[in-house]
């Protein structure tokens, strides 16, 4: 006699997903024995384990993770990953690195893109919380962080990646923007360049600040003043970098070198340089770029690069998160990943 008359009488579509009931019935075992057999509990007779496993395979049974994580204290095994823009290879790599570590720990990833929109970030975080994520990795879009601060109250660990939010005391993974920039610019100054332009449009405010500070510190150390006419940075207007790159070559006393603070700026500059035929007109012109990319060594002018590893950033973020999930209780940690100068 089945102990579940309700289910016995059901007339669901022939293709309803099989449940543990079905497996247990087929293996002629009780529900709990089936449950234990499938979750590898040691105290089940081996013969029954076999029967259950066979039945599950026959039926194509998949444990309903929803029901499982409904029980209190159960982890969902879900991690929310909120990035700003997956079409930027940088963040795509970050996502991939995070997945590498999380998958190794048996966790799955919910992914959302904010497109740098604070409102979408709020909605995504709220949704993910609704899905009972065990933790979140977020590339924060902006300064407002009340929705992120609220996570602490829910006991949901949070790791910030790529950017900080000052008010938030949480684990954070950054690149060594300042150091990487400083030593790259230091190199240019050592080579005797005294008029170096800074091209840094369309970046988040904190990142922009850190890279600009590195630029300035290198100058200070070398005793070379920064000419503010050579500092191009600001809002993310899509073609600001393009215009600035062209303009930069036309200023009264033009620079002999340029530091590009990220990928997009580098590409913009490359176009401008190609148009200006710099390669032949001013062979001494030097460019150093933050962020490496696939075709960097195919550019019309030689590019020295401040390289770093976004995938490692994702991995590190995931590792910090996993440590919290494993009970780590210490103060918030900030990891600065090193950069590598490729001349």
| Number of helical (H) and strand (E) elements in the chain, helices listed first | 14, 12
Instruction: Provide the token pair at 203.
Output: 């970046």
Q: Smallest distance from the beta carbon of 46 to DNA, in angstroms?
A: 8
If one asks whether residue 113 binds its own copies (CB under 8 A), the answer comes out as yes
Task: Note whether 14 and 43 are within 8 A (CB).
Answer: no
Q: Return the range that interacts with DNA (CB under 7 A); candidates 15-23, 148-156, 248-256, 290-298.
A: 15-23
If one asks whether residue 299 binds its own copies (CB under 8 A), the answer comes out as yes
Question: Footprint of DNA on residues 28-57 (CB under 7 A)?
Answer: 29-33, 35-36, 38-39, 42-45, 48
Which of its own copies, DNA, none binds 332 (CB below 5-8 Å, type-dependent)? none
Which of its own copies, DNA, none binds 20 (CB below 5-8 Å, type-dependent)? DNA
Q: Smallest distance from the beta carbon of 197 to its own copies, in angstroms?
A: 19
Q: Enter the DSSP assignment of 45.
A: -
Secondary structure of residue 21 in the 3-state scheme: helix
Q: Return the range that interacts with its own copies (CB under 8 A); candidates 31-39, 62-70, 183-191, 204-212.
A: 62-70
Instruction: Provide the token pair at 156.
Output: 């949901």
Task: Note whether 342 and 304 are within 8 A (CB).
Answer: yes
User: With b meaning 16 or more CB within 10 Å and e meaning fewer, what string describes 192-223?
Assistant: ebebbbbbbbbbbebbbebbbebbbbbbeeee
Q: Enter the DSSP assignment of 301.
A: S
Contact residues toward its own copies (CB under 8 A) are: 12-13, 15-17, 60, 62-67, 69-70, 72, 76, 78, 85-87, 89, 92-93, 95-96, 99, 103, 108-113, 126-132, 150, 153-155, 267, 270-271, 274, 293-295, 297-300, 311
């Amino acid at each position: 006699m089945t102990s579940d008359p309700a289910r016995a009488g059901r007339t669901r579509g022939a293709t309803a997903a099989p449940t543990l009931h079905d497996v247990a019935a087929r293996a002629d075992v009780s529900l709990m024995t089936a449950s234990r057999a499938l979750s590898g509990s040691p105290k089940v007779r081996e013969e029954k384990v076999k029967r259950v496993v066979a039945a599950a395979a026959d039926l194509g049974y998949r444990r309903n993770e929803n029901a499982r994580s409904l029980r209190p204290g159960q982890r969902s095994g879900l991690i929310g990953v909120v990035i700003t823009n997956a079409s930027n290879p940088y963040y795509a790599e970050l996502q991939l690195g995070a997945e590498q570590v999380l998958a190794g720990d048996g966790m799955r990833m919910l992914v959302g893109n904010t497109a740098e929109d604070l409102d979408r970030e709020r909605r995504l975080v709220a949704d993910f919380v609704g899905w009972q994520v065990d933790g979140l990795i977020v590339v924060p879009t902006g300064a407002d962080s009340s929705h992120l601060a609220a996570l602490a109250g829910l006991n949901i660990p949070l790791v910030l990646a790529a950017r900080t939010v000052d008010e938030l005391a949480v684990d954070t993974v950054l690149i060594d923007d300042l150091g990487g920039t400083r030593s790259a610019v230091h190199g240019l100054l050592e080579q005797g360049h005294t008029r170096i332009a800074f091209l840094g449009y369309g970046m988040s405010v904190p990142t922009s600040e850190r890279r600009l500070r590195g630029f300035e510190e290198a100058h200070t150390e070398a005793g070379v003043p920064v000419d503010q006419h050579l500092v191009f940075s600001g809002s993310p207007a899509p073609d600001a970098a393009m215009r600035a790159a062209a303009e930069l070559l036309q200023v009264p006393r033009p620079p002999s070198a340029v530091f590009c603070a990220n990928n997009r700026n580098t590409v913009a500059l490359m176009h401008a340089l190609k148009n200006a035929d710099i390669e032949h007109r001013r062979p001494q012109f030097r460019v150093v770029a933050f962020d490496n990319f696939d075709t960097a060594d195919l550019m019309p002018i030689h590019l020295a690069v401040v390289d770093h590893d976004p995938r490692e950033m994702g991995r590190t973020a995931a590792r910090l998160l996993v440590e919290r999930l494993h009970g780590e209780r210490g103060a918030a940690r900030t990891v600065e990943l090193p950069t590598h100068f490729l001349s």
